[in-house]
Amino acid sequence: MQPRLARFAHRASPLTVVAGLAFAMTAAFAAGGFPSGTYASGGLSATFEGSHFRIKQGETVQVEGDYAVHADRIELTDRRGPWACTKKGEETGAYQWKYDGGTLTFSDAGDRCRARSGSLTAQAWKKA
């Protein structure tokens, strides 16, 4: 009986280590990763889910598209909507983001669409 238990413990040990590392990495990513969810600012709401974002004014979607996060940098690519930046070279804009105490802020890190940049960087976005 003892050898079986020893073999099981030997096999379980790496699994336990891997599970512990995966949990630690997930917790670290959640703590330092982009805070998805819905934010409000000045009559607008911005929702970031998965790799998709949506900006609404009241109940009307004004622009939606895709986003990608690389550390503290986010790239937004407008796809559709009356406020979408769809001119060649303006579809994607880059921003530095910061999240502190339920508030999300953006600073322009390379966006040729002035309307999008002005909307995102002019105010802080509060977690809804």
Strand 44-49 relative to strand 52-57, pairing = antiparallel
Q: What is the pLDDT of residue 68?
A: 97
Long-range contacts made by residues 85-94, C-beta under 8 angstroms, separation at least 24?
A: 85/113, 85/115, 85/116, 87/113, 93/117
Range of lowest pLDDT (14-18, 55-59, 115-119)? 14-18
- 34 pLDDT tier (thresholds 50, 70, 90): very high
Is residue 51 within 8 A of residue 58, CB to CB? The reply is no
3-state secondary structure (DSSP) of residue 120: helix
Handedness of CA 72, 78, 79, 80 (dihedral sign): positive
The pLDDT value given to residue 6: 44
Under the banding of pLDDT at 50, 70 and 90, the label for residue 33 is: very high
Q: How confident is the model at residue 89 (pLDDT cuts 50, 70, 90)?
A: very high
Name the CATH architecture for the domain at 37-127: Beta Barrel (2.40)
| pLDDT (average), residues 9-21 | 39
